[in-house]
Amino acid sequence: MGRFLFIAIASLFLTSCGVSKDATNKTGEITIKIVQINDIYEIAPLNGGEYGGLARVGFIRDSIKEKFPNTYLFLAGDFLNPSLLGTVKVDGERLNGKHMIDVLNALEIDLVTFGNHEFDLKEKELLKRLEESTFKWTTANTRHVTENGTLPFVTGSGLNKIVTSDYEIFTAVGSGSDKLKFGVFGVTLPSNLKDYVYYGDIYENAERAYNLALQNTDFVVGLTHVALEEDFEIAKRLQSIPLIMGGHEHFNMLEKEGSTIIAKADANAKSVYVHTLTYNLNSKNLQVDSDLVMVTDKTPSSPKVEVVVTKWNELLNNKLKEVIDNPNEIIYHASIPLDGTDKASRSKQTNLGDIITRSMANAYTGKVNAALVNGGSIRIDDNLIGDITSTDIFRVLPFGGSVLRVDLKGSLLIEILNYGVEKSGTGAYLQRYNFSKNTNGNWQIGTDLVENENTYSVAFSDFLLKGYDIPFLTPENPEVLNVYYPIEKETASDIRKAIIEYFKLQ
């Protein structure tokens, strides 16, 4: 009965995602299936299991591959960071994507390219993740800056070490002796500058890699992690490229530039794209059909991948229980999405930023005038909607930290607020509670003007007082008159606790 149910579900899935076409090819015709994912920060299903989950992605790929042997799974960047699990320490070291590599190895993913968030990791950390990889990486425009010069990144270890290439070539087999080769190149936008990373020009290197790959293949596709407008520009320059599988944006889209299809799936495997590429060896004609497949609680999981995901989830759950009693408790229902995307958190006041800072002020009921947190602390890079659990709050602010009550002069407070505005687009942009500007452009707390000589009590995230984002904001600044550090039993001792308590009051 169980086996029958599995077959029925798989058959229904294959039909629903548009791949029910007979896998037997006509003579001279070869069909390729590519399952595309991008911007994966979580290994397990989200929103109470409603969507996502890499074990489910594994089932999708495996189900298609049973009927279409030429099936591949590609990831268009951003997966090593940020994530709550990535902040967990094991043997004194943060995981920093180790869990993700473990799951992708179990998935037997065919190819990934670098996203900008891969370079959030320190050099030593990234090199460890590359060493642990048993799958292929491709990058045409990023290189490793070393003492011995600028060199390609290297993956694997020992006898399995592989130098990352500008492109990878795959061989697909049809009926009889029919074979074709197709190439895949990767490029990454240079939005995360690090001393150990060299970024070459996106367009020049996309063209170079495309042309090199085309010399040894029947056709070439792109696996990119760049902004949509940059994908359009690549397509304009490479007018014969049939497909660009992209990342960076977090919502699904299917665009066309000339004859080029540009596809991006939803972040965190809420959806995948299944691309069907049918190539006629005689006419050299290539047909591309792209189907968006939602990954839901109706999608079964790959057992072997599920084992690995469960291992890491149990570790996370045990770590969270050291801080809160019930990590999976539903604490709020968001009917309107709470915007935690990087771009918004670092450039404008968001509804999630408002809740975070209100929670910080609430932790000091009646004792503070307002609250500030740096937008870069918000690491979920996604929207929260529907039922929200305590674990979700830890996903939003994985690094935690306490909420400090700071007494400071109005002149310094104005300088801090202006600095936050000037840093729009960076992690130093400030999400605010109870601050606004009047019609003259002067800062207010509530309806009262912030005066230079007055003293104000403001709730700050402890990170801000370390001077990393705002160099002049440290306890040593003479206009910082007093800093209160909460003790462990106080709600303010952990910013996540403050938010959880605030939600419970709503």
Average pLDDT over residues 37-46: 94
Identify the pLDDT of residue 13: 53
Average pLDDT over residues 145-169: 96
**217: pLDDT strictly greater than 60:** yes
**478: pLDDT strictly greater than 70:** yes
Q: Residue length, the chain?
A: 506
Average pLDDT over residues 310-318: 95
Average pLDDT over residues 262-276: 96
H helix or E strand, kind and range, residue 163: strand 162-163
Q: Which single residue is written with the structure tokens 């902004």?
A: 227
Amino acid at 47: N
Identify the pLDDT of residue 12: 45
C-alpha distance from residue 470 to each of 226, 241, 363, 372, 427 (Å): 29, 45, 23, 12, 10
Asked if residue 152 has a cis previous peptide bond (ω within 30° of 0), the answer is no
Q: Which CATH architecture has domain 326-505?
A: Alpha-Beta Complex (3.90)
**131: pLDDT strictly greater than 80:** yes
**pTM (2 d.p.):** 0.84
Q: In what order do the strands lie in the sheet with 111-113?
A: 136-138, 111-113, 71-75, 29-37, 271-280, 286-294
**18: pLDDT strictly greater than 50:** no
87-101, 320-334, 405-419, 471-485, range with the lowest pLDDT? 320-334
Give the SS3 label for residue 158. Answer: helix
Distance CA 177, CA 302 (A): 32
Instruction: Name the band, by pLDDT with cuts 50, 70 and 90, for residue 73.
Output: very high
Distance CA 165, CA 113 (A): 10
H helix or E strand, kind and range, residue 106: helix 98-107
**106: pLDDT strictly greater than 50:** yes
**22: pLDDT strictly greater than 80:** no
Identify the pLDDT of residue 17: 52
C-alpha distance from residue 414 to each of 79, 276, 403, 454 (Å): 38, 57, 20, 11
Q: What is the DSSP letter of 76?
A: -
Identify the pLDDT of residue 273: 98
Distance CA 232, CA 130 (A): 30
Average pLDDT over residues 236-261: 96
49-58, 244-253, 320-329, range with the lowest pLDDT? 320-329
Instruction: Name the band, by pLDDT with cuts 50, 70 and 90, for residue 28.
Output: confident
C-alpha distance from residue 271 to each of 53, 210, 222, 248, 358 (Å): 10, 28, 19, 15, 33
Mean pLDDT, the chain, rounded, equals 93
Distance CA 73, CA 415 (A): 50
| Phi, psi dihedral angles at 414 (to 5 degrees) | -65, -40
Instruction: State what percent of residues in the chain have pLDDT above 90.
Output: 85
CB 374 within 8 Å of CB 429? yes
Average pLDDT over residues 156-172: 95
Of residues 24 and 297, more confidently modeled: 297
Of residues 205 and 24, more confidently modeled: 205
Identify the pLDDT of residue 14: 54
Q: Is 489 exposed, middle or buried (0-12, 13-18, 19+ CB in 10 A)?
A: exposed
**322: pLDDT strictly greater than 90:** no
Identify the pLDDT of residue 274: 98
**135: pLDDT strictly greater than 90:** yes
User: What single string gives the DSSP state of each residue in 109-134?
Assistant: --EEE--GGGGGS-HHHHHHHHHH--
Identify the pLDDT of residue 439: 95
Q: According to the per-residue pLDDT averaged within each range, which of 134-138, 315-319, 391-395 is highest?
A: 134-138
Q: Which CATH architecture has domain 12-311?
A: 4-Layer Sandwich (3.60)
Instruction: State what percent of residues in the chain have pLDDT above 70.
Output: 95
CB 58 within 8 Å of CB 280? no
**5: pLDDT strictly greater than 80:** no
Domain locations along the chain: 12-311, 326-505
